[in-house]
Amino acid sequence: MGALEEAHLAAAVAAACACEEEDDDLELLGGEAEPAAAAAADGMEPAVRALLVGLGEDERREGLRRTPKRVAKAFRDGTRGYRQKVKDIVQGALFPEVGVDKRTGSAGGTGGQVVVRDIELFSYCESCLLPFSIQCHVGYEPSGGRVVGLSKLSRVSDVFAKRLQNPQRLANEVCGALHASIQPAGVAVALQCWHIPLPENLECKTLQGWIRTSHSSRSGVFEGENSTFWSDFLALLKLRGIDMEVGNHSDSIPWCPLRSLEVLLSNRHCKKSSTNGMVSAVTSMLLSLGEDPLRKELLGTPQRYVQWLMKFRACNLDVKLNGFTLSNVSIYERPGGGTADHGAIRSELHLPFCAQCEHHLLPFYGVVHIGYFDNGSGEGIDRSHFQALVHFYGCKLQVQERMTRQIAEAVYSISHNGVMVVVEANHICMISRGVEKIRSNTATIAVLGQFLTNPSAKASFLQNVLDTAGSAV
């Protein structure tokens, strides 16, 4: 069995194990899903099937057969905050802590404010239904000689994050709920949020390429322009390198990039369109989540979500690379003659891409590195052709393992001598649902031809990737 065949088998086994593991996961609320929530999820599955059909996919093919169930589960888990109550979290978690003398202490004599920093959260953007990343910082000034369990600050924040949200309302709701439930002298909430841009605007493999905004909300002693409590809160954030006063683009950059696209501000259809069925399906999904599709903030949301999905619609276009049409060239076809002069290793590194996970209909994004042996002609392949190739295989419903293999085989059909492809990607489905593997990153590799038998060439290519990593971020 060749190396690529072994890679195929390993990827298939890993995918099967991942699916089984996912089905065995209990809901984060604990135990089995609530009957009402499960029924709502079941109602979402036909809607997801309609979306797959609208994307030109065969819902019965391997990899998509269980996608409706997975998507329904992801949305149900991502909006579980609607089914949680703050009082159930905070109740029993207030503890007496008299602290220092009231004359020198502040706000009740407990010794000063408490700040929990770097709470990693994900929420669903109510404008487009795509997840966005949040770094949340919560502080409060104790009152009445009581403090709250620190974990409750992050759990309350998560309750409101697990709803369809926009950043400012999220900050306001967390602040208001904490103030009402623990009754402190004041609460401060600061959020740093990142929204994935349109696929064509992704330029790097980190959050640096995302749309960033900063938001805050405060109550009680933190209010007012000259509040020393607010100044102390910001100072404690700066100890972690967090400067809320720098890089705040909330006023100058639209939060959701899909809001810049023209959509009908109605979730009912005024004229015939090829995507009307898909829009109706997304509207049905909102209803299944218990939302009102006619709520002001949700007007146009189904259309925007469909517009995002249509960027990954299945197509049968040919990709031309260096004069060859890939769909018409056997990947194992060899040029005439005996041995060829392999020449030097050529590489194109840090080619950005954005794909859509076919298992959860969530984006994964990152960079592709391609190394290949010169076929002896002395003519390399232009970077723009490689970028077009990556776009072709990336802008569709995909899995990373398959995409890596497809790119390698396509380049090998031209190079013939040897190809090595490395894909590094962040998967939103890994960090916005289930066990939420924050900051996880997935790397895949495919090796063909001379790279299989030339360890030094393989090591040289990987070292080249490493040496140029800093310049691409």
pLDDT for the residue 395: 87
Residues near 339 by beta carbon (within 8 Å), at least 6 away in sequence: none
3-24 and 400-415 helices, crossing angle to 10°: 170
Contact 69, 45 (CB under 8 A): yes
Q: Are residues 235 and 350 in the same domain?
A: no
* Tokens standing for residue 329: 């060239």
Give a yes or no: residue 154 inside a domain. yes
pLDDT for the residue 93: 84
Give a yes or no: residue 161 inside a domain. yes
Per residue of the chain (473 residues), what is the pLDDT tens digit?
Answer: 444 444 444 444 344 444 444 443 433 334 444 555 555 556 799 999 999 999 999 999 999 999 999 999 999 999 999 999 998 998 888 888 765 444 444 554 456 899 999 999 999 999 999 999 999 999 999 988 888 999 999 999 999 999 999 999 999 999 999 999 999 999 999 999 999 888 777 665 555 568 889 999 999 999 998 999 999 999 999 999 998 875 455 455 678 888 876 655 555 554 556 788 999 999 999 999 999 999 999 999 999 999 999 999 876 555 555 444 554 444 344 443 333 334 588 999 999 999 999 999 999 999 999 999 986 666 678 899 999 999 999 989 999 999 999 999 999 988 888 999 999 998 988 877 665 667 789 999 999 999 999 999 999 999 999 999 876 65
Q: Are residues 90 and 181 in the same domain?
A: yes
Q: Are residues 227 and 351 in the same domain?
A: no
Contact 457, 451 (CB under 8 A): yes
* Tokens standing for residue 99: 């602290």
pLDDT for the residue 211: 87
pLDDT for the residue 439: 74
Give a yes or no: residue 231 inside a domain. yes
Assign residue 367 the CATH number of its domain. Answer: 3.30.1130.10
Q: Give the count of beta carbons closer than 10 Å to the beta carbon of residue 390.
A: 24
Q: Are residues 231 and 352 in the same domain?
A: no
DSSP result, 9-67: HHHHHHHHHHHHHHHHPPPTTSSSPPHHHHHHHHHHHHHHHHHHHHTT--TTSTTTTTH
Q: What is the total count of domains within the chain?
A: 2
CA 268 from centroid of its chain's CA atoms? 29
pLDDT for the residue 376: 67
Q: Are residues 322 and 452 in the same domain?
A: yes
Q: Are residues 322 and 235 in the same domain?
A: no
Give a yes or no: residue 76 inside a domain. no
Distance CA 241, CA 230 (A): 17
Residues near 187 by beta carbon (within 8 Å), at least 6 away in sequence: 138, 139, 140, 141, 175, 178, 179, 218, 219, 220, 222
134: three-class secondary structure by DSSP: strand
pTM for the whole structure: 0.80
Q: Are residues 214 and 321 in the same domain?
A: no
Q: Are residues 321 and 224 in the same domain?
A: no
Q: Are residues 323 and 230 in the same domain?
A: no
Distance CA 177, CA 175 (A): 6
Q: Are residues 117 and 228 in the same domain?
A: yes
Q: Are residues 239 and 367 in the same domain?
A: no
Give a yes or no: residue 271 inside a domain. no
pLDDT for the residue 22: 47
* Tokens standing for residue 131: 């997840």
* Tokens standing for residue 47: 């809607």
Domain hosting 407: range is 317-327+343-470
Give a yes or no: residue 43 inside a domain. no
pLDDT for the residue 344: 82
Give a yes or no: residue 447 inside a domain. yes
Q: Are residues 322 and 449 in the same domain?
A: yes
Give a yes or no: residue 450 inside a domain. yes
* 196 φ/ψ sector (left φ>0, alpha ψ -120 to 50, else beta): beta
220: three-class secondary structure by DSSP: helix
